[in-house]
Amino acid sequence: MIIKRLVTLLVCAGVVWYPVFSAAKGFNYSYGEAGYTNLSTDEFDGSASGATARLSFGATDHIHVKGEYSHFSSVDIQKKTFFGKTTDSVDIDRFVIGIGGNLQVLEDVSFIKKLDILTTVSYYDAEYSKDSNRSDRGYQIEPGIRAQVMKKLELDASLTHLNIDNFDGTGFGAGAVYNFYKDFSARGTYKHFSHDDTDEFFLGVRLDF
Predicted TM-score of the model (pTM): 0.82
Please give the average per-residue pLDDT across 151-155, as a whole number: 95
Please give the average per-residue pLDDT across 108-123, as a whole number: 94
Mean pLDDT score of the chain: 86
Say yes or no to pLDDT of 19 above 60: no
Amino acid at 127: E
- Contacts of residue 57, defined as CB under 8 A and 6 or more positions apart, other chains included, come to 29, 30, 64, 65, 66
Question: For residue 167, what pLDDT band results from cuts at 50, 70 and 90?
Answer: confident
More confident residue, 85 or 15: 85
% residues pLDDT > 70 (the chain): 84
Q: Output phi, psi for 14, to 5 deg.
A: -65, -40
- Contacts of residue 147, defined as CB under 8 A and 6 or more positions apart, other chains included, come to 112, 113, 114, 115, 116, 154, 155, 156
pLDDT in tens, 122-143: 999 999 887 656 778 999 999 9
Please give the average per-residue pLDDT across 68-84, as a whole number: 82
Handedness of CA 130, 161, 43, 70 (dihedral sign): positive
In the chain, what are the domain boundaries?
2-208
Task: Give the span between the Cα atoms of 190 and 203, in whole angstroms.
Answer: 9
Task: Give the span between the Cα atoms of 26 and 181, in whole angstroms.
Answer: 20
- Burial zone of 46 (CB within 10 Å; 0-12 exposed, 13-18 middle, 19+ buried): exposed
CA distances from residue 199 to 22, 43, 46, 188, 195 in whole angstroms, order as listed: 38, 12, 12, 14, 10
Please give the average per-residue pLDDT across 185-208, as a whole number: 95
Task: Return the CATH class of domain 2-208.
Answer: mainly beta
- Burial zone of 181 (CB within 10 Å; 0-12 exposed, 13-18 middle, 19+ buried): exposed
Amino acid at 42: D
